[in-house]
Structure 1
Amino acid sequence: MEADTGTGDQITVDQIIQDAFSRKKQIKPLTKVDILDLDELREFQGRKRKEFESYLKRNRLDLRQWIRYAIFEIEQHDMRRARSVFERALLVDSTFIPLWIRYIDSEIKAKCINHARNLLDRAVTTLPRVDKLWYKYLILEESLGNNDIVRSLFAKWCSLEPGSGAWDSFIEFEIRQEMWENVRDVYSRYVRAHPFAKVWSKWIQFEKTNGNTDTVRKVYSLALDTLVSYESVLGKTADTYTDDLITLILSYADWEAANQEYERCSVLFKISLEKWPNNALLMDGSMNFEKKFGKASTINEAIVHGRKRKYEESLMTEPRNFELWMLYIDLIEKYFPDQMVDVFERAITTARPTDQKVKSFEWRKYIYVCIRYLTYMELELNEVNKCREFYQRLVNEIIPHKYFTFSKIWIMYGKFEVRHGDISSVRRILGRAIGMCPKNKIFKGYIELEIKLKEFDRVRTLFEKYLVFNPSNSKVWIDYAELEENLDDEERARMIYDLSLRDYSVSLSKESKVQIIERFINFETDAGGYDNARKLYRQFLDLTGYSAKVWISYAMYEYSTPTNAQSAKMQEATADLEDLDEIEFEPTIENLRAARKIYEEALVYYKRLDDKKNRMLIFEAYQQFENNFGSTEDQEGVKARMPTRISKIIQEQGVEREYIDYIFPDDTKPSISSTSKLLQLAKKWKKDQEN
């Protein structure tokens, strides 16, 4: 059939199928032959035998054809020839099971029982591992009522240690015969051949049905002893085996509890938990038993074991859940103190974070677990050497100092060695920390340690290294200067303060310099360097952009500190006194004038900049100052100069906005130069009038 490649109709699937059926060859049916007499029958039999023989000469290994040949002979009622064909086929292949089955069935159908029995005996001898042949033999003998022969066949079969099916069939046979002792004997051999919990469970179930309490308990005890001994032989490959054993133990415990043998049940759980302390099924079973039949103490113990198991299961799936680790450690410390070291070691090993380059929150929590381990070893166990070894393990192996470190560990390590009197090791440890991974906390801890040891030269060296490491930290400069101040070395302290404020030497932020200069002013004031403090205030004003607060602070400083002359008088007055604290400075008119001078200078500065807001702040502080320390006339003078507040409206982008403006009386008064010019004009006019 050719496809139409032109523009005609497209060929469909139905057309293809119809064409295929139209071309299909018709198979002629076989001719039915009717056999009318004995000669025709013999001719037919000879022809068929000749066909079978000729085919088998070509395909001798076609056992299906041998079976067809034998069936043909059986249909011709010629058992002698059929046996001959079967025997010839067995010589070709004696392992072909269907051949044996068809041979045996043919003998049984022909009621040749002895022939069938002989065949079955040959079959199970030739193929002893083929269960189907054994079952065929057993069914034949049992159907004939030969129970002794069946029993002997089962015994012969089971001596080969076959699968569970053979043993179960033997037991079912003995149960049908109600031979209970024989059943027990079979079970005793069955469990030796197949030492598994499910086999023992079958025996136990039999005893529960046909035995008594003593026999059931005896089988349970024998089962547990046997299975435990086999488990020790199997070793690490016995996980499934152990689970089945635990199931059997739970079954035993439930049975004892059902028989009200609570003491036996409790002892059974106790012994089992000693052997398998972390088994979840045992713990659950023990907890449920104690809840039902136990005492308050045993119930609490069961609950604790249950919590312990749940924590352990959760930590297996979440090894870096550090909150759970802490709860678990608390539980172990309270109820299982002998396991504390093992638990800590497991936590250190399994919970270590995998990311070695980022100081994550996991790392911080992990270090807290390590710290708890260190404190436990030192304080609870008093294991100094082990604690030192774990410190070394932390700083040498666990913490990746190349990317980050933990100052707390270094400082704790140093303090640990201090407590045990090894000062040289402390300096070596903290010096190594500064060299490998310098951090502010490590410097501070090392400096505090050397201060306590009164090694001030070492402290100065550490401060210098600290400033090289972090020169922009104002706290370091202040602490260094305060150290020198406490050591009564004012020149060194003054030099440190001065060096920190130099722009070309240290790149401190504006806020840091403000902190330093405030502390510098306090230092100069305490040291009696009032002129230096006044110079610093000028520097302070310049640093803060002439802030109103600094102006006010400067004015109050002028009022509260003595001038040079006052300072000299105070020194002369205190020359003969031992207690210098008895002399107190009392401000005088000179201090008032100095303070007013600063206020006036600030007003002039802000007036020049037209900064009305800060100018108003200065006036308010000035007025409060005069109210506190000035006379009535001075107070009235400042009050008369206070600005007036007025509200004004301004338009910004088409929107009216109200704001507060200030009008200063000082701005409306005629200046001195304009008054002098008016007087000159008046004098000239008067002179002209006289002329």
Structure 2
Amino acid sequence: MSEEQDSTQLSVENILSDVYARRKSSKTQPKIDIQDIDELRELQGRKRKEFESYLKRNRLDMRQWLRYASFELEQHDMRRARSVFERALLVNGAHIPLWIRYIDSEIKYKYLNHARNILDRAITTLPRADKLWYKYLFLEESLENWEIVRSLFNKWCSLEPERGAWISYINFEIRQQKYDNVRDIYEKFVLVYPEAETWLEWVKFESIYGSVESIRNIYSMALDTLILYESTMTQSEHYEQGITKLALSFAQWEISEREYERAATIYKISRDKWPNDPTVIKSQDEYNKSFGSVSDINDTLIAKRKINYENELENDVLNYYSWMLYIDLIQKYYSKDIINVFERAVTTSIPNQKRVKNAQWRRYIYLWIRYFTFMELDKNDVEGCRILYKRCLNKIVPHSAFTFSKIWIMYSEFEIRQNNLPLARRILGRAIGMCPTKKLFKNYIKLELKLREFDRVRKLYEKYIEYTPSEKNVWLEYSKLEENLGDEERARGIFKLSVQDNVTDMPIVSQLSILDKFIEFETEAQEYDNARSLYETYLRKGNYAPKIWISYAMYESSVPTATQLIELYGNNDSDSEESSDEDDVEFKPTEENFDRARKIYERGLEYFKEREDGKNRFILFQSYEEFEEKFGTIETKKQLTEKAPKAVLRVRHQNGIQKEYTDYVFPDDSSTAGKINVSRFLSFAKKWKEEEEKEGDTQ
């Protein structure tokens, strides 16, 4: 089986042999033996008829014309060959291979004058065909006709050909050792091709055949010319690269001549002209390391940092950290460019997200803030700074989505520094109308407080409360303002309004905090009955927490009753010095005040007893004990001791797990042990009914 597979397997040799066997054999041209002149003429006539008949059908086939001319040349019939060439040139005079074959045939048979005539016709007909010019020049130079070659080069260069023609002319004159002629050629060459490459070739020539002064003059003339015509030459892609290369070459040459001061001057001019060119900075750095001072090295390092920052910002324009460092560098070392850098920073680095106030926006706004600060403090350009504020607020910040209160505040403070208070007010008013924030309200209120414009402050607080009615600090600040102004009724009205349930959606914690301040206010105003009613509200809103009961009791023990107030102030002699100043009257709590406090404690204990809240009841009882220890009598202490609870360890089931906890049993609980707790019974019945309904649904 394997032998059969080997016999049928194809190989490269089998394929090639099969292809050679099957290919068609090409028709070989019959070999014709010419016996006499008649047979030759017959053959020539037949071939000419074939060429002519073909060219009648396709006269544009230049290869056929070349074959026809080659046939005549093989027959040594130069006259007929010229005729064929001329006829072909009439058909297509721009076919360069035809001209070359025509010229080569004349040179081959040593018809040099004919060849010159044809070359003259060729370069006149096709003056931009470099091959024809090179053919002509090669012919004349091989015949050592130096003047003819020079005249041909002059004629060719007058047409401003490609660089290769000029270089060939220069090389020809160098071969002839005509160095002055080479300089004349370079003078024309740099006018036609004023690129740095041309000047460097001239410098290379002078470095071999010229002097030091001639090289320096050419370098200087090259730089002056290129800088003078900079506006017309900047369209070239390699202009800046070439001129920097030329300048650095000049500096390196001066270093080679040990003219270090000249080299340093060239580097300085180059840095001023192209401050961001890495090639210039690198070359100057190398020079400074070898020949420069410490300050020169620092300048180079600063320039490197500048380029690094610019490269970073080119790759990531939203890198605000690099922008800040870049601005620091420019402001310190390149102060004349700082305005352009600021403009580029705030124009090109606008965040892409227009609807969300993210970290990018905050960093971007700090660029504007730094711009404002620079324009006002460093440049002292008040009008320019004002224009920048308007530009930022009107065109940059999307106030419909979010705003930056700091910019509005800075703008208003700027106008205040310019003694333009009405405009500052309009700015803050516009900000509050367009995009109100807590910071804007606080700043505007602070401004009007400094100006003692209290009516304006009241209006601002009203707007502030409309904006954030659930913010407790706004209510407290507003009430504090009215209290400081001596308007107790307005302050009391603000307090009352803030704790009403149907006015604000303030969290209960904030309401309790306001109630605490309200009680302090009423206490300072000696409106103790109002404070007591507030404590009742405090208990209700605070869910009757033990600490509120304790606070209420302590309050009752420390403030006078209505009767005590009359005794303190009403019965005193109005003419006496002691009674003239109410602040000098000192109240000392009596047993009546302590009894009122005990009643509060008893109320609290009764409240927790009804709700079977042993834990909070025990906390309140402990505070009651401390109170009695401090203010109680032997009898009250004894009565309270009899009511002391006992700690009992109980077990409860929670999520199928037994947990021990400490419960407190009061002595008076035993008297009600036989009584049915209706509320608790109803709660158990309701729970049982819900469980029954769930079981019915599952069945």
**Shorter-chain TM-score range:** 0.7 to 0.9
Q: Return the alpha-carbon distance in structure 2 between the equivalents of residues 415 and 574 of structure 1.
A: 55
Q: Return the alpha-carbon distance in structure 2 between the equivalents of residues 287 and 588 of structure 1.
A: 92
Deviation at 1:315, TM superposition (A): 2.7
Residue 227 of structure 1 is matched in structure 2 by: 226
Residue 626 of structure 2 is matched in structure 1 by: 624
Question: 1:660 is paired with a residue of what secondary structure?
Answer: strand
Residue 149 of structure 1 is matched in structure 2 by: 148
Question: 1:162 is paired with a residue of what secondary structure?
Answer: coil
How does 1:363-442 map onto structure 2 within 5 Å?
363-442=361-440
Cα distance change on mapping 1:26 and 1:300 into 2, 3 Å = closer
Post-superposition CA distance 1:172-222 (Å, at most 9, x none): 223333443333332222111111111112222233334343332222112
Letter in 1 for 2:180: E
Contact 1:319 1:351 in 2 (8 A): yes
Deviation at 1:637, TM superposition (A): 5.2
Cα distance change on mapping 1:69 and 1:374 into 2, 3 Å = same
Contact 2:557 2:596 in 1 (8 A): yes
Deviation at 1:562, TM superposition (A): 2.1
How does 1:572-611 map onto structure 2 within 5 Å?
572=570, 576-577=577-578, 578-611=580-613
How does 1:283-362 map onto structure 2 within 5 Å?
283-362=281-360
Residue 277 of structure 2 is matched in structure 1 by: 279
Q: Return the alpha-carbon distance in structure 1 between the equivalents of residues 665 and 346 of structure 2.
A: 74
Structure 1, 608-617 or 23-32: larger mean CA deviation = 23-32
Residue 515 of structure 1 is matched in structure 2 by: 513
Deviation at 1:317, TM superposition (A): 3.4
Question: 1:656 is paired with a residue of what secondary structure?
Answer: strand
Q: Return the alpha-carbon distance in structure 2 between the equivalents of residues 45 and 416 of structure 1.
A: 107
Deviation at 1:244, TM superposition (A): 1.4
Residue 459 of structure 1 is matched in structure 2 by: 457
Residue 116 of structure 1 is matched in structure 2 by: 115
Residue 199 of structure 2 is matched in structure 1 by: 200
1:79 aligns with 2:81: no
Deviation at 1:502, TM superposition (A): 1.6
Letter in 1 for 2:495: Y
Letter in 1 for 2:566: A
Identical aligned residues as a percent: 53
Q: Return the alpha-carbon distance in structure 2 between the equivalents of residues 68 and 383 of structure 1.
A: 86
Match of residue 550, structure 1, among 548, 569, 572: 548
Contact 1:322 1:366 in 2 (8 A): yes
1:468 aligns with 2:479: no
Cα distance change on mapping 1:549 and 1:231 into 2, 3 Å = same
Q: Return the alpha-carbon distance in structure 2 between the equivalents of residues 36 and 179 of structure 1.
A: 61
Question: 1:145 is paired with a residue of what secondary structure?
Answer: coil
Residue 445 of structure 1 is matched in structure 2 by: 443
Structure 1, 214-223 or 538-547: larger mean CA deviation = 214-223
Cα distance change on mapping 1:574 and 1:357 into 2, 3 Å = farther
Q: Return the alpha-carbon distance in structure 1 between the equivalents of residues 674 and 88 of structure 2.
A: 148
Contact 1:399 1:405 in 2 (8 A): yes
How does 1:527-538 map onto structure 2 within 5 Å?
527-538=525-536
* Matched residue count: 655
Deviation at 1:487, TM superposition (A): 0.8
Q: Return the alpha-carbon distance in structure 2 between the equivalents of residues 461 and 500 of structure 1.
A: 17
Letter in 2 for 1:600: E
Deviation at 1:133, TM superposition (A): 0.9
Contact 2:275 2:303 in 1 (8 A): no
Cα distance change on mapping 1:90 and 1:670 into 2, 3 Å = closer
1:39 aligns with 2:38: yes
Contact 1:231 1:238 in 2 (8 A): no
Post-superposition CA distance 1:378-401 (Å, at most 9, x none): 233333332223223333333232
Contact 1:474 1:516 in 2 (8 A): yes
Q: Return the alpha-carbon distance in structure 1 between the equivalents of residues 180 and 266 of structure 2.
A: 29
Deviation at 1:434, TM superposition (A): 2.2
Structure 1, 623-632 or 320-329: larger mean CA deviation = 623-632
How does 1:484-495 map onto structure 2 within 5 Å?
484-495=482-493
Post-superposition CA distance 1:413-440 (Å, at most 9, x none): 2222223332222222222222222222
Letter in 2 for 1:158: C
* TM-score for the superposition, normalised by structure 2: 0.87
Letter in 2 for 1:136: K
Residue 3 of structure 2 is matched in structure 1 by: none
Structure 1, 499-508 or 524-533: larger mean CA deviation = 499-508
Q: Return the alpha-carbon distance in structure 1 between the equivalents of residues 299 and 660 of structure 2.
A: 78
C-alpha RMSD of matched pairs (Å): 2.9
Residue 239 of structure 2 is matched in structure 1 by: 241
Residue 55 of structure 2 is matched in structure 1 by: 56
Residue 483 of structure 1 is matched in structure 2 by: 481
Deviation at 1:21, TM superposition (A): 12
Q: Return the alpha-carbon distance in structure 1 between the equivalents of residues 213 and 561 of structure 2.
A: 112
1:524 aligns with 2:522: yes
Deviation at 1:503, TM superposition (A): 1.6
Deviation at 1:114, TM superposition (A): 3.0
Q: Return the alpha-carbon distance in structure 2 between the equivalents of residues 340 and 579 of structure 1.
A: 67
Q: Return the alpha-carbon distance in structure 2 between the equivalents of residues 633 and 212 of structure 1.
A: 127
Cα distance change on mapping 1:448 and 1:126 into 2, 3 Å = same
Letter in 1 for 2:260: Y
Structure 1, 325-334 or 160-169: larger mean CA deviation = 325-334
* TM-score for the superposition, normalised by structure 1: 0.88
Contact 2:512 2:541 in 1 (8 A): yes
Cα distance change on mapping 1:653 and 1:482 into 2, 3 Å = closer
Cα distance change on mapping 1:333 and 1:634 into 2, 3 Å = farther
Contact 2:552 2:600 in 1 (8 A): yes
1:261 aligns with 2:271: no
Q: Return the alpha-carbon distance in structure 2 between the equivalents of residues 422 and 48 of structure 1.
A: 108
1:102 aligns with 2:101: yes
Post-superposition CA distance 1:512-543 (Å, at most 9, x none): 21121111111111111111111111101110
Letter in 2 for 1:534: R
In structure 1, the gaps of 5 or more residues are: 1-19, 674-691
In structure 2, the gaps of 5 or more residues are: 1-18, 676-699
Post-superposition CA distance 1:70-122 (Å, at most 9, x none): 10011112222212221222222221111111111122222333332332232
Contact 1:231 1:242 in 2 (8 A): no
Q: Return the alpha-carbon distance in structure 2 between the equivalents of residues 391 and 588 of structure 1.
A: 66
Post-superposition CA distance 1:208-260 (Å, at most 9, x none): 3343433322221121111112212335x245312211122122222223333
Q: Return the alpha-carbon distance in structure 1 between the equivalents of residues 31 and 186 of structure 2.
A: 61
Contact 1:256 1:265 in 2 (8 A): yes
Letter in 2 for 1:140: L
Q: Return the alpha-carbon distance in structure 2 between the equivalents of residues 327 and 26 of structure 1.
A: 82
Residue 171 of structure 1 is matched in structure 2 by: 170
Letter in 2 for 1:304: I
Question: 1:401 is paired with a residue of what secondary structure?
Answer: coil
Structure 1, 216-225 or 339-348: larger mean CA deviation = 339-348
Letter in 2 for 1:483: L
Post-superposition CA distance 1:624-666 (Å, at most 9, x none): 3333444566556545544344444444444333333333344
Deviation at 1:669, TM superposition (A): 6.7
Structure 1, 265-274 or 628-637: larger mean CA deviation = 628-637
Cα distance change on mapping 1:632 and 1:295 into 2, 3 Å = farther
Post-superposition CA distance 1:475-503 (Å, at most 9, x none): 21111111111111111111111112222
Q: Return the alpha-carbon distance in structure 2 between the equivalents of residues 574 and 379 of structure 1.
A: 66
Contact 2:309 2:326 in 1 (8 A): yes
Post-superposition CA distance 1:159-180 (Å, at most 9, x none): 2111011112222223333443
Cα distance change on mapping 1:201 and 1:588 into 2, 3 Å = same
Deviation at 1:151, TM superposition (A): 2.7
Post-superposition CA distance 1:269-311 (Å, at most 9, x none): 2222333334343334334433432212222222223323332
Q: Return the alpha-carbon distance in structure 2 between the equivalents of residues 509 and 179 of structure 1.
A: 103
Contact 1:315 1:324 in 2 (8 A): yes
